[in-house]
Structure 1
Amino acid sequence: MKILSIQSAVAYGHVGNSAAVFPLQRIGVEVLPVFTVNFSNHTGYGAWRGSLISPEEVKDVILGIEERGILPQIDLVLSGYQGGTGIGEVIIDAVARVKAANPSAIYACDPVMGNAKSGCFVAPEIPDLLRDRVVPVADIITPNQFELGYLTGTEPLTLADTLDSVDLARAMGPSTVLVTSVEQPDRPEGTIEMLAVDGEGAWIVRTPHLPFKANGSGDVTAALFSAHYRETGSAAVALERTASSVFDLIELTYKSGQRELQLIEAQEFYAHPRLQFAAARVR
């Protein structure tokens, strides 16, 4: 499998492509990373150095890949955080070019906007761009519960609410939706869930909730789920593998006392998921 991953890059730490590429490589996927920013570290520190890469330069890199005759070999296009509106149009164009070269290719979009605690932390124009232009051309989207609510104009709280919101999201274009960080009001204390829905049904997996914010964990989640789904065609299998790997990564990071994901130290958890969490069918 080959994945064209259009995301940010940092020198220190693990977010964007700096979070997604290595886990994908560790499960046997060849990744063609295209960078949208080149920063010293993620912006959660409040200070960073480096620069945004212009949409024109990003498009030029993708054109160079196309000129090498690689696009027919691409199985999956993956995108995450979008720093500006121009990148969205570049991604849409790249998806069209890849699918023209390989009609079986799919596009997975992580519609990064924010979360319930922090609110929206992207540029004001990005949420509407994602909702109106990018998500409709995606085959897979991986929003958290907050982002799902924005995309669909709803406030999903219960499982029934969330499933209804997913149906609205799927009506926008994507056939498969992974909802991360699902927090049902009646869930057992100290737990959190992920929900995966496609044309075959809906499955949920519950894991312990660690009191720790791990920047980049969503990027790892989106990458692993998309790759596993592309390989197996099973939302349940992809969900179980992803939840297992990501939980072990976050737990290892939490126990280490480090702020940054212990991405390298957790590498066996990607290649050989323990599958300690079973997905339950909910529809």
Structure 2
Amino acid sequence: MKILSIQSAVAYGHVGNSAAVFPLQRIGVEVLPVYTVNFSNHTGYGSWRGPMIAPEDVAAVLTGIEERGVFGEIDVVLSGYQGGEGIGDVIIDAVARVKAANPDAIYACDPVMGNAKSGCFVAPSIPVLLRERVVPVADIITPNQFELGFLTGTEPTTIASTLASADAARAMGPHTVLVTSVERPDREEGTIEMMVVDDRGAWVVQTPLLPMKANGSGDVTAALFTAHYRRTGDAADALARTTSSVYDLLERTHTSGQRELQLVESQESYAHPRMQFPVRQVR
């Protein structure tokens, strides 16, 4: 499997491609990383150094890959945080060119906009770009519960309303929706859930809620789920494998006391997930 991953990169820590590439490689995926920024560290620190890469330079890298005749071998285009409309245009164009070269290729988009605690933290133009132009051309999207509501203009809270919101998102174009950070009022205290919905049904998995914030965990989640799902076509299995791997990564990070994901130290959790959390079909 080959994944073209168009995301940010940092020298210190693990977000964007700096979070997604290694776990994908560890499960046997060939990754072609294309960078949209090259920062010293993620912006959560409040200060960073390094350049945003101009959309035309990102496009030039993609054209260079295309000139090697590789687009026909790409199975998945993966994208995460889109810092500006220019990058969005480049990604949409790349998806069209990859699919022209390989009609079996899919596009997986993590529509990063914000979260329930922080609200929407991207430029006002980004949700409009995602909702009107990016999501309609995606095959898989991986929003958190807040982003799902923001995209669809709904209020997902319960299992039923989250299912309805996922269906509204699927009506926009994607056939598969992975919803992360699902927090319903009637769930068991100290837990958090993920849900996946596709043409075959809907499934939920529940894990303990760890008392931490981990930048980059969503990037790992989107990457692993997409790869597992593309490989097997089994949404429930992909959900179980991804949940197992990401939970163990987060637990190791929390135990370490470090702010950054313990990405390399957790590599066996990607290659050999424990499958410790049962997946429950809800439709």
Scaled to the shorter chain, the TM-score interval is over 0.9
Question: What is the aligned partner in structure 2 of residue 269 from structure 1?
Answer: 269
Does structure 1 residue 227 correspond to structure 2 residue 233?
no
Q: Which residue identity does 1:50 align to in structure 2?
A: G
Question: What is the aligned partner in structure 2 of residue 154 from structure 1?
Answer: 154
Question: Secondary structure of 2:51's partner?
Answer: strand
Question: What is the aligned partner in structure 2 of residue 81 from structure 1?
Answer: 81
Question: Secondary structure of 2:178's partner?
Answer: strand
Deviation, 1:51, is: 1.2
Contiguous gaps of at least 5 residues in structure 1: none
TM-score, normalisation: structure 1:
1.00
Deviation, 1:66, is: 0.2
Question: Secondary structure of 1:179's partner?
Answer: strand
Deviation, 1:278, is: 1.3
Equivalents in 1 of 2:204, 2:179: separation in Å? 9
* TM alignment of 1:158-173, pairs within 5 A: 158-173=158-173
Does structure 1 residue 69 correspond to structure 2 residue 62?
no
Deviation, 1:36, is: 0.2
Equivalents in 1 of 2:254, 2:121: separation in Å? 24
Q: Which residue identity does 2:170 align to in structure 1?
A: R
Question: Secondary structure of 2:5's partner?
Answer: strand
* TM alignment of 1:40-59, pairs within 5 A: 40-59=40-59
Question: What is the aligned partner in structure 1 of residue 123 from structure 2?
Answer: 123
Equivalents in 1 of 2:83, 2:47: separation in Å? 16
Task: Please list the CA deviations of residues 155-200 of structure 1 after superposition, one character each: whole Å capped at 9, or x if unmatched.
Answer: 1111111000001000000000000000010000000000001000
Question: What is the aligned partner in structure 2 of residue 145 from structure 1?
Answer: 145
What's the % identity of the aligned pairs?
80
Task: Please list the CA deviations of residues 59-101 of structure 1 after superposition, one character each: whole Å capped at 9, or x if unmatched.
Answer: 0000000000000100000000011110001000000000000
Question: Secondary structure of 1:50's partner?
Answer: coil
Contiguous gaps of at least 5 residues in structure 2: none
Equivalents in 2 of 1:40, 1:123: separation in Å? 22
Question: What is the aligned partner in structure 1 of residue 12 from structure 2?
Answer: 12
Question: What is the aligned partner in structure 2 of residue 186 from structure 1?
Answer: 186
Question: What is the aligned partner in structure 2 of residue 21 from structure 1?
Answer: 21
Equivalents in 2 of 1:130, 1:30: separation in Å? 27
Equivalents in 1 of 2:102, 2:175: separation in Å? 18
* TM alignment of 1:243-258, pairs within 5 A: 243-258=243-258
Question: What is the aligned partner in structure 2 of residue 218 from structure 1?
Answer: 218
Task: Please list the CA deviations of residues 10-54 of structure 1 after superposition, one character each: whole Å capped at 9, or x if unmatched.
Answer: 000000000000000000000000000010000000000011101
Equivalents in 1 of 2:28, 2:246: separation in Å? 17
- Give the ranges of 4+ consecutive aligned residues of structure 1 lying more than 4 Å apart after TM superposition: none
Equivalents in 1 of 2:23, 2:123: separation in Å? 28
Equivalents in 1 of 2:123, 2:167: separation in Å? 27
Equivalents in 2 of 1:87, 1:227: separation in Å? 23
